[in-house]
Structure 1
Amino acid sequence: MDDNARGPELLKVASTAIDGITVVTVTGEIDHTSAGPLISALEVSAAADRPRVVVDMRHVTFMDSSGINVLLTAHHALTQADGWLRLAGFTDSVLRTLQIVGVDTVIPCHTSLHEALGA
């Protein structure tokens, strides 16, 4: 099979905790067919008492409106639970998407995971 004929990159999601903050690391493409694992990880995080979550997006290669909706829904749920959501690390195309729709004015966006954890 030709390497250029591969389908979209599958979404991989891993959660860890750093100093009481849940870090959700996302790799691949976030779209309507792949968002399930990210939704699940963010829902589990929102169930904690005063949840604090950073989504590390440095390995996200593509994100459509489905990804935007997942992040905004999580932001709302975490805020309602007296917690917060921060986004960290972006490819240029993903950051452009966040800026075009104004997500960066609603959810704090940081250039690195280290910056987001220290904010």
Structure 2
Amino acid sequence: METENAHGPELLTVASTATDGTTVVTVTGEIDHTTAAPLIHALDLGELGDRPRVVVDMRHVTFMDSSGINVLLVAHRELTQADGWLRLAGVPTSVLRTLQIVGIDAVIPCYTDLHEALEAWGNIRADQSETP
């Protein structure tokens, strides 16, 4: 008799949408070495176009290990080199605590929710247009 492993990793689902020139990547589930591939694919520069701006909506992430942290750091570096940026939105308290312990929140901006992260982009655009 076979039984399902109730303690195995939760599958990771990733959905990407575009809003006002920003790609929103919504992530649901656990981000670890066995589930990170869909997130890696969604954050691939080849999929994002020129001057990529990305907000990762993490409100439904239940767990993230060092593999997830590495995915975010690599994406941040690549997006920055491509004259784009990466932001995190709605990071659950337990995941945010991990990000804070390793200092990721000082490297990648974290916002309370998706609206706040997207609105920050609007404020940046307004500031840039006012620059002489």
TM over 0.5: yes
Once the two structures are TM-superposed, the CA of residue 83 in structure 1 deviates from its matched residue by 0.3
On the 8 A contact 2:45/2:79 being kept in 1, the answer is no
- After TM superposition, list the pairs within 5 Å mapping 1:44-63 onto structure 2: 44=45, 47-63=48-64
Distance 2:97 2:47 in 1: 27
Once the two structures are TM-superposed, the CA of residue 7 in structure 1 deviates from its matched residue by 2.3
Is 1:105 paired with 2:96?
no
On the 8 A contact 2:14/2:26 being kept in 1, the answer is yes
My pick for the range that moved more, 105-114 or 3-12, is 3-12
Dislocated runs of 4+, deviation >4 Å:
1-4, 44-47
Q: Deviations over 1:51-106 (max 9, x none)?
A: 00000000000000000000000000000000000000021110001100000000
- For the aligned residues, what is the CA RMSD? 1.9
Give TM-score scaled by structure 1 length: 0.93
- After TM superposition, list the pairs within 5 Å mapping 1:87-106 onto structure 2: 87-106=88-107
Is 1:64 paired with 2:65?
yes
Mark the structure with the bigger radius of gyration: 2
On the 8 A contact 1:46/1:78 being kept in 2, the answer is no
Give 1:117's aligned residue: 118
Report the count of equivalent residues: 119
Distance 2:80 2:47 in 1: 9
Q: What stretches of structure 1 of length at least 5 have no aligned partner?
A: none
Match for 2:87: what amino acid?
R
Q: Deviations over 1:3-22 (max 9, x none)?
A: 99352210000000011100
Give TM-score scaled by structure 2 length: 0.84
The verdict on how the C-alpha distance between 1:45 and 1:15 changes in structure 2, with shifts beyond 3 A counting, is farther
Between the aligned residues of both structures, percent identity stands at 77
The verdict on how the C-alpha distance between 1:45 and 1:104 changes in structure 2, with shifts beyond 3 A counting, is farther
On the 8 A contact 1:86/1:110 being kept in 2, the answer is yes
On the 8 A contact 1:98/1:104 being kept in 2, the answer is yes
Distance 2:15 2:45 in 1: 12
